[in-house]
Amino acid sequence: MQIFLNDRIVPEHEAMVSVFDHGFLYGDGIYETMRSYDGIVFMLDRHIERLNRSASLIHLTVPSPDNIHDAVYETVRANGLKSAYVRVTVSRGKGPIGLDPALCPKPTFVVIAEEFREYPEKYYNEGVKFIIAKTRRNLREALDPKIKSLNFLNNILAKIEAKKQGAYEAVMLNAEGLIAEGTVCNIFFVRNNILCTPSVDTGVLDGITRELVLGLAKGTGMQVWEGNFLPEDLFSASEVFFTNTTSEVMPVSQIGDVKYAVGEVAKRLRRLYRERVRKAVMDDA
């Protein structure tokens, strides 16, 4: 594998980051993940825009948008990939032990691109199991959810809960007990023919796939409600699904003891999402 490290492509065995890097020591950094379809990185500009937003919120310097764009495509091409998982990471960089960001004179910039491994079609045909995690989502007043941070321990603890219960994913609640998001995804559900999803005010990351799916749903004339919801609202839903960059639109078959059929809304929105991807690939070809 070829890795883009700071300013050049290097072989994986040369892609070394210092043990004094503050991303490693403190989780001080940000990242974005994206997918390449037929060599075209989908919604790359939007991901770069959000990376810059995260960087601004933690006072971190990142390469220019053009340099990030070029580094991403250089990494995809260097690995000979068409269908790829791409991750861009920027940490505070190497510096002495201590929390002061001024200790790190230069950020560390990394781009990884590897072959995308498709999810089993069974997941889309039958759905996946979720639980309601006991681990609560970080307070938005403590850590702004607009920051896509390297520190994922909160989410990891919820993921551990899910795995212990034989589930694929976990729904995380906020401190008020409202539905927030999954460990790596945004939650959607349908009640009374209304597509519902937690508002960003509940402390969720405003996912790029979430944003696109909301637009696709509105484009079909479907009523959409971004609001505050309790677990009971999920349990009374006719269908549930989640979104993220890699899974796109994936149905949920069960949350706790409540089971759901794979619904027509999820199927339709996945189809529309794929059509948008195909259009983007054709436009950029």
Catalytic residue IDs: 148
**Rounded Cα gap, residues 264 and 167, in angstroms:** 23
Sign of the dihedral through C-alpha 253, 216, 65, 283: positive
DSSP state of 102: G
- Cα separation of 17 and 197, whole Å? 39
Distance in angstroms (rounded) separating the CA atoms of residues 55 and 62: 7
Beta-carbon-side half-sphere exposure of residue 26 (alpha carbons within 13 Å): 18
CA distances from 28 to 54, 90, 106 (A): 11, 9, 13
- Amino acid 73 reads Y
CA distances from 133 to 90, 161, 189, 245, 282 (A): 29, 7, 18, 22, 41
